[in-house]
Amino acid sequence: MEWSPGDRGNIEDLRGSSGRRAVPVGIGAVIILGLLSWATGTDFLSLLNQNSSPSQSAGPQGQVQSTPQEERTVDFVDAVTGDVQDMWGKVLGGRYERTRVALFRDAIDSACGSAESATGPFYCPGDQKVYLDVGFFDELTQRFGAPGDFAKAYVIAHELGHHVQHLLGLDRGVRRGAASGPQSASVALELQADCFAGMWGHAASATGRFKAGHVELEPGDAEQALRAAAAIGDDRLQKAATGRVMPERFTHGTSAQRVESFRRGMDSGDLRACGVAVRGTE
C-alpha cells in the first residue's frame, strides 16, 4: 500500500490530553465484553461507567514527545482519513460532511464520555468524530495478528463508516442500550460499517479513480484487511478470551460475517450492496 503524507487537516492531535475511563461503542470494545462480561456475569459497559476513576492528566493540548514511528502513524491516519472522506464526498455529494480523527494516548474525553486505550477505536455521534489511540495499531499487529498498512486502513475506514451511518440516519436508536446477539441491530450496524470500509477499498484499488487521493493499493493489500476483519470477529475473540463462543453476546458479528461484509463492499463499491437505497447525491 502506497500513501503520501498530507497537511494533517484530517486529524485532531490530542496526544497531550487525557480523561476518565469509559467504553463507548468501538471496534475493540468487544474484547472486553467477551472476557469480563462472561467471567463476572455483569454488563461490563455499566461496570466501567460505575467504577470509572480519573486518569492522570497530561496537561493542555500542545507539544508532546514522540518518535519517528509514531509521527509516521499520525501521517498515515491523516492520509487514509482524507482519502476515505474524498471517496464519500464523491458517493454522497452534498450529504457528506467531513470530520476528523482525534488521536490520543491512554485516555481522552469525548462528547460520548471518557475513553481509554482499551476501548479501541470508536465513533462518537455526539461530536461526530472518530477517536483512536495511537498505540492501537501495535495491538492490531501483535495481539490480533493482523499486520500491514491496509489492515490499519480498514479500521479507520470502518469507523468512518459509522460517521456515514450517522449522517444518513442509519444508526438512529441503535447505539445506546442496543441489544446484543447475532440478529441484533448492533451487529447489523457493525457489518454495514465493514461493507462501507470495503467500498473505500474498491475505490482505492480502481483504475482512473479521483486524482485527489493520497492512497494507492497494491496486490495483496485486500488480504491484509480480510485478515484484520477475521481477527476481530466476536466468535474468535470470545473463543480466545474465554474458551467458548457465546452468540447471545455478539455485538460486531462473526469473523466470517465481517470478512463477507468487507468483501461485498470491496467487490462492488456500491451502496446498494451494503443495504442502502441509492438516492440523489445533492
Long-range contacts of 3-6, Cβ-Cβ distance < 8 Å, separation of 24 or more? 3/76, 3/79, 3/80, 3/83, 3/149, 3/214, 3/215, 3/216, 4/79, 4/214, 5/75, 5/78, 5/79, 5/214, 6/75, 6/78, 6/79, 6/82, 6/214
Please indicate, yes or no, whether the overall pTM of this predicted structure exceeds 0.85. no
The rounded distance, in Å, linking the Cα atoms of 247 and 213 is 39
* pLDDT, tens only, 100-126: 999 998 888 889 888 877 778 899 999
Write phi, then psi, for 190 (nearest 5 degrees).
-65, -40
DSSP state of 244: S
In the chain, domain spans = 2-274
Q: Which helix (H) or strand (E) holds 110?
A: strand 107-110
- pLDDT tens string, the chain, 282 residues long: the values are 777 777 889 999 998 765 544 444 455 554 544 444 434 344 444 444 444 443 333 334 455 678 888 899 999 999 999 999 999 999 999 999 999 999 998 888 889 888 877 778 899 999 999 999 988 888 877 776 666 788 889 899 999 999 999 999 998 866 554 666 656 778 889 999 999 999 999 988 875 554 445 677 766 777 777 777 777 677 767 777 778 888 777 777 788 899 899 999 999 999 999 998 776 544
CB contact burial 83-110 (16+ within 10 A = b; e otherwise): bbbbbbbebbeeebeebbbbbbbbbbbb
For residues 41 and 109, what is the distance between their CA atoms, to the nearest angstrom? 28
Quick one: cell of 218? 497494491
Q: What is the pLDDT of residue 242?
A: 79
pLDDT for the residue numbered 55: 38
List the grid coordinates of 15: 496526544
